């Protein structure tokens, strides 16, 4: 039989899951052969547990039938055999049962979801009603709170006390018979009395304003009169300028400087007053002036206004900016802190020391506000050209010109002990890294400004202006002496570089008329080059050399003999004499450590410096020492040849100096002392 014939013989089944009973009944009356089957009705009476058991049993039976079919096929049964067809039919029935159970399960799921949705809707409705009720409760509570917190404007008015009210108020306002028993009426009466008083005070205020306007008009008239006098006074001052210049009394300049001086920090102000007083009383060639930005100094001295509001506003702006940009790195923050800590006051002082030859020493004094120390920078102005001498390059260097003005005052570290802890916070290891930009904090600079810090040495009880005045005169003399000494050395170095030893007429008697040995070379050395010399090691071990000293090499020659002199010049020259170390290259190499006569020559120039000082202040000391060295070399060479062979000596070094004895003692020392005016050499 074909499948079409089977379909025609099967009865038609209509499943209506959502139709109404009326439609079902109408369909049944119209078509008697159609059976109406409603699974929803059946779903109501079926037990889900029984359906689950039916599902398990059906699956087990289906698996059993499949296994039997597999066994039959394995046993050789044909595909269309009766046993296989029967089992296939049973399997089809079981599949139909599984499909029905699947539909029922889906229907149960849909029904459960619908019931859950309806329950959630009911819960949402109840929750919404609860929220509405809570909102109404909160609103009512706020309104109740507003009513409880309500304050009438009359409560903010400071009324007079009740006793004062009953004493001063008239009877028509106070009404004691009513207000003493009724608090409300008492308050109204007190408010009426307050109103009356304020009206009376307002009238008095108007009268006071009118009187104030009259006084202001009178003040303005007097002010206009005074301002009209100013042009005339200025004309008088301008006309008196030639008289001020002629009498050396610059009133106008002093007045302007006094106005600016009010904004100086205390140390610079002390220095200004004391230096000006010393210049007027003792040194007419000393002048003091103020430099810098006056407006910025005024801004520093002006007290901050509304600092709290400004800080709160700035904090809010910073918070907004921080949300938009990246924070600065820690390194940038440290640099900013260092700059702020090393910040200088906008005003500074310039002290000019003039010398007789027209040269000027400019001293620029600065005040570091956060470190509370003074620093100084220097500059030298001369009328002559000082660019000729190469070896004199370090003499007028602003970084080393004032080194050791007082003993051991190098100006590399801050004298304030508190600065060490400040430097640790911002990562500054040494102040010496910043002296080229900020200036040198010498101890004498602090004392000129009236600053004195605790240290290991003895301290005076003076402070402020008294301390500055006690050091002013000596310091100014040392500064002028330092400039004169360096300028004199500069001129001498120019001659020494050209192999000329300048000996003044006042010092000619210290040397014989004829000196054969001569200076061949004069050069500048560094500290490193000096320490590498072999014949100066004993000087280094003795601690007589410092990095702040100046180092030079002099070469004195006569014939085949060559004398090298390493010269150490202290910054305090001529107060501290130059130190000579000798090495002779003639018939070998000799030095003061190996030759007693060379040691004696070193003594002649190093120990007996008082003979070579010359006229005060002893600015010819260096050239006299070099000239004495040439004379001693002549004596050494001329007498050494006689000691060697006992004859008149070789023709290279003929005897030209008159000596009483050519050698003396076991060490055979030579006569290096020159006796004037006899003109002979003798032993010491």
**pLDDT given at position 35:** 58
- What's the pTM? 0.61
Whole-angstrom Cα distance, residue 514 to residue 674?
A: 13
Among candidate residues 396, 352, 174, 374, the one with its CA nearest the CA of residue 265: 374
**pLDDT given at position 598:** 92
Phi, psi of 367, deg, nearest 5 = -120, 120
Q: What percent of the chain is modeled with pLDDT above 70?
A: 86
**pLDDT given at position 14:** 43
Whole-angstrom Cα distance, residue 4 to residue 343?
A: 109
Whole-angstrom Cα distance, residue 237 to residue 235?
A: 5
How much is the average pLDDT of 504-528? Answer: 90
Whole-angstrom Cα distance, residue 3 to residue 609?
A: 146
- 13 band by pLDDT with thresholds 50, 70 and 90: very low
Q: Are 276 and 468 in contact (CB under 8 A)?
A: no
Phi, psi of 381, deg, nearest 5 = -120, 130
In this predicted structure, the answer to whether residue 136 has a pLDDT above a threshold of 90 is yes
Cβ-count burial 228-247 (b if 16+ within 10 Å, e if not): eeeeeeeeeeeeeeeeeeee
Q: Are 245 and 253 in contact (CB under 8 A)?
A: no
pLDDT in tens, 307-360: 444 444 555 555 555 554 544 456 678 888 888 889 999 999 999 999 888 889
Bridge partners, residue 286, by sequence: 353
**pLDDT given at position 338:** 87
Radius of gyration (Cα) for the chain, nearest Å? 58
Bridge partners, residue 266, by sequence: none
**pLDDT given at position 314:** 55
pLDDT in tens, 181-229: 888 888 888 888 888 899 999 999 999 999 999 999 999 999 988 888 8
Q: Are 403 and 378 in contact (CB under 8 A)?
A: no
DSSP 12: P
A 10 A CB-CB count for 261 gives: 17
**Which has the higher per-residue pLDDT, 147 or 233?**
147
| Full DSSP string of 136-187 | HHHHHHHHHHHHHH---GGGGS-PPPHHHHHHHS-HHHH-HHHHTT-HHHHH
Among candidate residues 486, 481, 489, 532, the one with its CA nearest the CA of residue 626: 489
176 alpha-carbon distance from chain centroid: 75
Q: Is 7 exposed, middle or buried (0-12, 13-18, 19+ CB in 10 A)?
A: exposed
- State the alpha helices, DSSP H only, in 36-152: 39-45, 48-75, 82-149
Whole-angstrom Cα distance, residue 492 to residue 485?
A: 10
Helix (H, G, I), strand (E, B) or coil at 485: helix
Tokens of 437: 């930009």
On the question of a cis peptide bond just before residue 574, with omega within 30 degrees of 0, the verdict is yes
Q: Are 617 and 609 in contact (CB under 8 A)?
A: no
What number of residues does the chain have?
684
Question: Which residues, other chains included, contact 263 with Cβ-Cβ below 8 Å and sequence gap of 6+?
Answer: 294, 297, 298, 300, 301, 347
| Alpha-carbon dihedral angle through residues 584, 585, 587, 590, given to the nearest 10 degrees | 40
Phi, psi of 540, deg, nearest 5 = -65, -40
pLDDT in tens, 39-84: 778 888 888 899 899 999 999 999 999 998 888 888 887 777 888 8
| Alpha-carbon dihedral angle through residues 594, 600, 602, 605, given to the nearest 10 degrees | -170
On the question of a cis peptide bond just before residue 455, with omega within 30 degrees of 0, the verdict is no
Q: Are 398 and 376 in contact (CB under 8 A)?
A: no
Bridge partners, residue 584, by sequence: 563, 590
Helix (H, G, I), strand (E, B) or coil at 442: coil
């Amino acid at each position: 039989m074909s499948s079409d014939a089977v379909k025609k013989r099967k009865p038609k089944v209509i499943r209506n899951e959502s139709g109404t009973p009326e439609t079902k009944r109408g369909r049944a009356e119209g078509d008697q052969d159609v059976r109406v089957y409603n699974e929803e009705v059946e779903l109501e009476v079926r037990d889900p547990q029984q359906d689950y058991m039916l599902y398990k049993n059906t699956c087990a039976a289906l698996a059993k039938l499949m296994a039997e079919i597999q066994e039959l096929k394995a046993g050789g049964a044909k595909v269309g055999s009766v046993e296989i067809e029967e089992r296939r039919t049973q399997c089809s029935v079981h599949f139909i049962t599984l499909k029905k159970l699947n539909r029922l399960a889906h229907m149960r799921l849909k029904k459960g979801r619908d019931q859950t949705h309806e329950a959630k809707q009911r819960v949402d409705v109840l929750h919404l009603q609860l929220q509405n009720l809570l909102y109404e409760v909160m609103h009512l509570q706020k309104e109740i709170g507003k009513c409880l917190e309500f304050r009438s404007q009359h409560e903010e008015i400071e009324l007079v006390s009740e006793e004062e009210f009953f004493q001063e108020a008239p009877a028509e306002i106070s009404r004691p018979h009513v207000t003493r028993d009724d608090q409300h009426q008492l308050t109204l009466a007190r408010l009426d009395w307050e109103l009356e008083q304020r009206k009376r005070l307002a009238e008095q205020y108007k009268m006071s304003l009118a009187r104030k306007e009259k006084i202001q008009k009178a003040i303005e008239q007097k002010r206009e009169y005074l301002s009209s006098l100013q042009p005339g006074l200025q004309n008088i001052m301008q006309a008196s300028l030639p008289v001020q210049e002629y009498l050396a009394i610059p009133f106008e300049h002093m007045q302007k400087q006094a106005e600016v001086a009010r904004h100086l920090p205390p140390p610079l102000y002390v220095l200004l007053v004391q230096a000006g007083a010393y210049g007027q009383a003792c040194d007419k060639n000393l002048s003091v002036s103020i430099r810098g930005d006056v407006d910025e100094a005024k801004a520093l001295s002006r007290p901050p206004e509304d600092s709290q509001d400004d800080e709160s506003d700035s904090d809010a702006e910073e918070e907004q900016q921080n949300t938009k940009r990246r924070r600065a790195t820690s390194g940038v923050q440290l640099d900013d802190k260092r700059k702020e800590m090393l910040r200088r006051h906008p005003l500074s002082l310039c002290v000019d020391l003039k010398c007789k030859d027209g040269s000027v020493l400019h001293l620029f004094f600065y005040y570091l506000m956060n470190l509370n120390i003074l620093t100084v920078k220097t500059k030298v102005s001369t009328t002559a050209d000082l660019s000729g001498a190469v070896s004199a390059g370090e003499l007028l260097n602003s970084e080393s010109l004032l080194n050791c003005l007082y003993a051991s005052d190098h100006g590399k570290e801050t004298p304030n002990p508190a600065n060490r802890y400040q430097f640790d916070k911002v990562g500054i290891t040494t102040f010496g890294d910043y002296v080229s930009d900020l200036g040198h904090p010498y101890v004498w600079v602090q004392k000129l400004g009236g600053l004195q810090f605790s240290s290991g040495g003895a301290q005076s009880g003076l402070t402020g202006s008294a301390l500055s005045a006690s050091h002013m005169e000596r310091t100014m003399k040392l500064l002028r002496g330092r400039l004169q000494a360096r300028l004199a050395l500069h001129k001498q170095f120019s001659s020494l570089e050209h192999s000329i030893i300048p000996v003044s007429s006042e010092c000619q008697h210290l040397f014989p008329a004829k000196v054969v040995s001569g200076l061949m070379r004069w050069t500048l050395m560094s500290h490193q080059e000096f320490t590498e010399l072999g014949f100066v090691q004993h000087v280094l071990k003795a601690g007589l050399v410092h990095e702040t000293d100046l180092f030079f090499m002099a070469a004195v020659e006569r014939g085949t003999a060559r004398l090298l002199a390493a010269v150490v010049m202290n910054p305090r020259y001529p107060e501290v004499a130059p130190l000579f170390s000798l090495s002779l290259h003639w018939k070998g190499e000799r030095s003061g450590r190996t030759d007693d006569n060379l040691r004696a020559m070193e003594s002649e120039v190093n120990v007996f410096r008082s003979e070579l000082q010359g006229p005060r202040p002893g600015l010819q000391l260096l050239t006299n020492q070099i000239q004495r060295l040439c004379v001693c070399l002549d004596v050494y060479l001329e007498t050494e040849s006689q000691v060697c062979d006992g004859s008149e000596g070789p023709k290279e070094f003929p005897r030209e100096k008159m000596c009483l004895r050519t050698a003396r003692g076991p060490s055979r020392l030579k006569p290096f002392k020159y006796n004037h005016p006899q003109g002979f050499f003798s032993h010491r």
